[in-house]
Structures are given as structure tokens and as C-alpha cells.
Chain A
Amino acid sequence: MEGAQKAASDEVVRENNGGSNGDEKFLHPTPMLDELEKGPWPSFISGFKELAERTENPMLRGVMDQLEYSYNTKMGYWKGGLVTVDGYGAGVITRYSMIKDKFPEATEFHTMRIQPAPGLHYNTEMLRGLCDTWEKYGSGIITLHGQTGDIMLQGIVQDKVQACFDELNKDGWDLGGAGAGVRTAVSCIGPGRCENACYDNLEAHLQIIKHFIGPLHRPEWNYKIKFKFSACPNDCTNAIMRSDLAVIGTWKDSIQIEPEEVKAWIAEKGMDALVNQVLNLCPTHAISLKDGEMVIDSQDCVRCMHCLNAMPKALSPGKERGISLLMGGKNTLKVGVNMGSLIIPFMKMETDEDREEFIELVEEIIDWWDDNGLDHERIGETIERVGLKQFIEGVGLDVDINMVTRPRDNPYFKAKY
């Protein structure tokens, strides 16, 4: 990119980063990794070095040595195993070095997955407490956050896992999911800051995952199943592709328009911008101008969010709010990437009763998958293999035209009549 090369070559000096200063005694030389201390973006290698030099934790030195070795050989050297805490069957990702003879200090480097608060909100007391416990028992390396949504405390030996977990658990932290069960969930910021939040996704996340906490800690199904909670169809958690159960906020009635703010928007940005950047980009041509006023035909609106994103002061979601449930999102392996598809067009999600009704529905869905799925088959793959119609019948859902983009284009089915 323009200017990027200049930026990349700029020498960035950071007060608090360890860097290479020639005085290092604890760490062994890592010339390949040191290349990643150059450039303006914050360097994870500088962070690791600073931590290792301060704590002189041999595990960090061993892991740096093994990582440097990987950079030279272009191969990875960790293998899995089985480490967990009392009563749980998942949550610790076990890593043993395959080349521990070469790097004995890297023999064990297990990760503890920890569930953050919905929306990834913290106060500093929570976070400092987490850091203190982690430094006491583990390496001090933290990933904020893993792709499934966990805090990942990386680098602990088996003997310290239980004591570390007990201390974290006293402070309100619990392990995240792993294996063939419910996984840790993710929420966007939702009502915590966003004017487009159509439901309280943080509360839904908390209550729903608490309900499924048994199968999260003790996986027993065909494969993993993930929830993600996005509070509007902008889907900032990427729920549609990254989760089996994508709970996406929406509304049923009309977009709310503030005519004065529409006028102010046009006065600031101009009529060309209104036509080119709002009206023309509406996917269903639901917006028109009538005597200079903006009119939205809500029967044509598909709730895509574009006009709300473009005109945040003038437009807001309707008042009858709830969720759509999409199911089956997953990435490439093995049958190809699958976007979640619409299963429940609209459900209220305001009260405890609404959330309980949702939980009951999900239990039906999981029971169906448990009965019909194959080993290592995500629910979207099961639905594709068995048939959406069979899934709808099996769970007892009402068929809805919103579940498909169009009726079938071939005549090959066994009619009931």
C-alpha cells in the first residue's frame, strides 16, 4: 500500500518493549523471530521477550526456541493429549512438544480456555486479577481473544492446571468449551453502546450458555456446536458463517425515520449522496423520494441495515424487535464453506420467558441432531445431507417461505397426496 513501505521501514522505538538491546542473558538468540520486531505494528515477539526477560520463566525460553526452530524448518511441533480439571471433560487444550529432547523447557505448553463476559467487557480489577493468577501458575502469555471467543491462557504445565483453575473459578471465571459439545459463545457490544441493537444479546448469551454449561464442559455429541449473538443484521460477530446457531437481532415493523435529521443529512452531504449512496444501494429498491421526503416501503425492506448504517442519526430499527435464528454456518472442512440459513424468521427475545422458549427450541434441535447426525458432522452438514424438509419435520417447526430463496426448480419429490 501507498506509504506502507515507508511506515514499515520506520524505526519505531517503544519505551516499554524489551527489544534486542544486547544485554539479554536469559533468552537464547532468535534471529528469525527478531525480524518480527521490525515495523510499526505492535510486535508479539517483543512482548514475549519482555515477559521472558522479566520473569525468567524457562517455559517461555523453550517455547521461543521451538518457535524459532519452526521458523527455520517450516514445520510445527506440538501434539495433543488429555489434560482437564476435576469434573470437566474439556476446556484445556493440551500441547506437548514433539521435540522435547531438543527443547526440554518446551515439554508442556497447555492452554486454558476461559469464558469472558459477553461483549468482551472488562473492568481492570477483573483483568488484573486474571493476570496475577495467570502469572502465578502459567507463562503469562494471553490471547485476547481466540477465534471461538475465549480468553486463551497459553502455557501451563499439567501439575498446575487444577490449582490455577480453582483460583480463577473463585474469581468468577469458568473454562470454555472444546471438543464435541457446546462451545464458548461470542456477542457484539449490543445494547452496551450500539443504537442498532435489536435485543439484549449480552443477557441472552449469559443465560443460554449457562443453561448449556453441562454439555459445554462435558462434550458428548457428534461434533462441536457454536452460538453467536449479533444484535443486528450487520452481524459484527460473523455469526452467519462462524456459528451453528446464529442469533441475529432484527425487527418486524417499519424503520423509524426522523424527517428533520434526513433534511440535515441532505443539507450536509447533498442530494447526490442520498441517491448514490443510500437509495441506489438499497437491495430491494424499497426507498423512494416523495415531495423531497424519504419514504421506505417496509413490505419491500429486507432489513439489510445499509440505510441505517449510512444515516445513523436519521434512521433507526423498528420498534417491534426480536431475533432471527440462522443455522448451519461453518467453514471449509470438509464439504465446503456453509453460510447459516434462516430457520426462525422472528422470535421475541425480551423476557426470561422468551429466552426459555428459545432454549426449549434449541434443545429440540440438538436432540434431532444427536439422533440423526454422523460422527464429526456439524448440524448444517446433517441438514444438507438429510434435507431441510426432514429437519423441519423432525424438530416440529412451521415451514416458512423465508427459509428458502425460492421454491424448488425441479419436480423430483414424493408428494403426500
Chain B
Amino acid sequence: MSSPETKWKTIESGPHSYEEALHPVVRKNYGKWKYHEIPKPGVLKHVALSGDAIYTVRAGTPRQDTVDMVRRLCDIADKYCDGYLRFTVRNNVEFLTPNEAHIEPMIAELEAMGFPVGGTGSCVSAVSHTQGWLHCDIPATDASGVVKSMMDTVYNEFKDMKMPNKVRLSTSCCSINCGGQADIAVVVKHTRPPRINHENLSTICELPKAVARCPVAAIRPTVINGKKTLMVDEEKCICCGACFGACPAMEINHPEHSKFAVWVGGKNSNARTKPSTMSIVAHNLPNNPPRWPEVTDVLGRILTAYKAGGRPWERVGEWINRIGWKRFFEETGLKFDDDMIDSYRHARTTFNQSAHVRF
């Protein structure tokens, strides 16, 4: 694949260097910051020990961007920020300037281009998400489309700061959950064991690898029509889809039987309570492109109840810990069912080993 006309010898340089990417005021005050304020939603003010201040304007992006869009963001950075910009881990773009007078015109220009300014403080954040049908090789749904549908419904909550604390969202297109743990997460849930494509299994899969991939030892070698292939013990199968990643002939995705589940209470920060993993609160929601209304409805119910009942600084999981799961289900109108009782490893750690009861 090497092109004979190129003589370039690769430099294994690793991450791009960062110093030239820092605004001069950032470089001058690097590691010497004193405090920050949030003058208004979407705007941060950081003050250094030297007395210098730098303002940040933060805006949401589709994450799935284009060169045209990135060039427009660069135009803003050249015009207002001396040619510097950065991104957050939740796909927001940030423009840093020491010039306070640049804030309002920059906001006006970003909004006119369709980039919502917000994403700061006690807001609903942009969604941490995956690739889906656009590019992934194992997705049961799209990612960017679900995200677009969700963010349209929480657009105002992204732009203002009226939630009890920040709300992190994520989505994932399979049970691997690349989107991660979040306050509210939308994750695919397969409801049937994989259908096995015996025709091409032995030609595209390493059988021992697929057998080893199963967490519950439900996959066994077998022979069908004289061909070496695999079979699934459907009683044992937990519909996780792990085998599909190792062997594309274990067809787990299905237009009807790959559903959505909604999870709540994930938290990565150490603030107040220790980091926590999510719990399932809704499932059997249809995979319903192009706008997934059933999913955005559940998202809205949870956010509405949390906004009304959460105390300052309580993340979604902390709010639920205080009011209890019983009231969570009552106030959101969601229904607890027996599938929500854990049956996997460490299940007993989720049993109520106490006489603490809520009525």
C-alpha cells in the first residue's frame, strides 16, 4: 500500500504537541489559576493568580462534524480568540478570549450559525455517544440520530442552568455501552439469542474464539450439514451480544428484537458520593427511527421529576438515593418490574439486606 513516489519516513510522534495550541494568556498562567465563575449560562470566567482573566464561550456541536463546519468554528476563533479553540470531552466547542467585549458578539454569531451556547454548570449536558449505523460494524441502532432527537427535547435545559446539578447523558448502540455510565443513559437491549448463520460461520469465524467470548458458556461447537459450526443454548443465553463482536455470523441485531433500555444514576465524579454505576428503569422501548419518540418521552419524564424534586448539588443518583426507588418510579410514572431485579454476578449486593422500607 505504500506509495512509491512518497519518500516521507513516518515519525511516531504520538499525541499532537499542545503548547502551540494554548492561547498566550493560558500559556502565561499555565497551572497558576485562582478561581472561576459562571457569569451566565455558556460563559466561564477563569482568573489567574497574576490577575489575568480568560473568558470561555461554550457551544454544543453535532459531534459528527464536517470540514465546512470546523472551518466555520475556526473563523470564529480567528475573529474573536486570536486563533485558539478547544473541545470538551462531551463534544462541546470552547472559545477562549481575554477580551470580555468579544463575548456577546461571539455568542450572537455562534447562535446565528446554529450552535447553541450553553453546557455549563447545572445544565443537561451534550450526549456522550457512539457511532451507530453511520460507521460501526455491530450497531443495533443509530447514534447521532438518537442524540439529535434527545438534544432537540432538552435544548433549553442545555442552554440554561436550572437543574439541581449537572446531568450527564449518554447513548450506546449495543450492550458494550461505549457511551459509558451517565446520569441518564440510553442503551440497546437485545431480547433474543443470536440467530446463527451456519452457511458462512466456519469461513468467517474462529470457532474457539467465539466459544470463549460467551460469559455464560452458552455456545458450543456442533456440525450441521457436514459443516463445523456453533450452537447456542438458548436457556443459558443472556442476549449480551458479546459473541457477535468475535463472530459476525452470530447475528444478534434484529429490527424488532433489539430494543432500547434507559438507565439512571451513573456518576464518575468523586464529589460527595463515590462514583456509581447505573440502574435500569425502563426497557422494551422500540427502536423507532428517525426520531425515537418513546425514548425521548422517558428522558423527559425523568428530567422533569428530577428538576422538580432534586436539591442543590444532587446528581440524579443522589436524588434517587434520598427519595428512594419507590418514589422515583412513582414520580416518573415508570414501572418497576421483575426483569429489573439483578440476576447476574454480584446480584445479591443489590438486594435490600435491611429492614429499611419505604411506604
Contacts and interface: CB of A to CB of B under 8 A. Distances in A.
Nearest to A308: B271
A311 B136 CA distance: 43
A116 B67 contact: no
Given A16-B72, A241-B180, A205 B15 contact: yes
A1 B300 contact: yes
Contacts of A45: 148
A128 B74 contact: yes
A172 B14 CA distance: 9
B65 A142 contact: yes
Given A123-B21, A235-B269, A336-B345, A312 B65 contact: no
A102 to B, nearest CB: 15
Interface in B38-79: 46, 54, 56, 60-74, 77-78
A1 B3 contact: no
B134 A41 contact: no
A201 to B, nearest CB: 10
Given A161-B1, A166-B8, A195-B34, A44 B62 contact: yes
Task: Give the interface residue-count category, chain B.
Answer: 35 or more
Interface in A223-252: 233-242
Given A47-B64, A134-B67, A304 B270 contact: yes
Nearest to B46: A193
B114 to A, nearest CB: 4
A126 B61 CA distance: 19
Given A331-B181, A332-B176, A140 B66 contact: yes
B140 to A, nearest CB: 8
B1 to A, nearest CB: 5
Interface in A185-203: 185-186, 188-189, 191-195, 197, 200, 202
A74 interface: yes
A142 B70 contact: yes
A39 B253 contact: no
Nearest to B134: A67
A222 B287 CA distance: 34
B interface: dominant SS: loop
Contacts of A99: none
B323 interface: no
A313 B139 CA distance: 46
Interface stretch (B98-106, B154-162, B226-234): B154-162
Interface string B92-119: 0100100000000000000011111000
B270 A305 contact: yes
A14 B113 contact: yes
Most buried by A among B17, B116, B269, B304: B269
A192 B113 contact: no
B179 interface: yes
A121 B177 contact: no
Contact of A47 (B32, B68, B78, B278): B68
B66 A32 contact: no
B148 A41 contact: yes
Nearest to A145: B87
Interface in A119-168: 119-128, 131-132, 134-135, 140-145, 147, 149, 154, 158-159, 161-163, 165-166
A27 to B, nearest CB: 14
B35 to A, nearest CB: 4
11 contacts: A1-B300, A71-B145, A74-B256, A115-B16, A147-B179, A174-B14, A233-B271, A241-B275, A306-B271, A331-B177, A376-B246
Given A195-B46, A333-B176, 17 more contacts: A39-B148, A76-B253, A79-B248, A141-B66, A144-B70, A174-B14, A191-B30, A193-B26, A193-B56, A195-B34, A206-B14, A233-B271, A312-B36, A313-B35, A332-B175, A334-B240, A376-B246
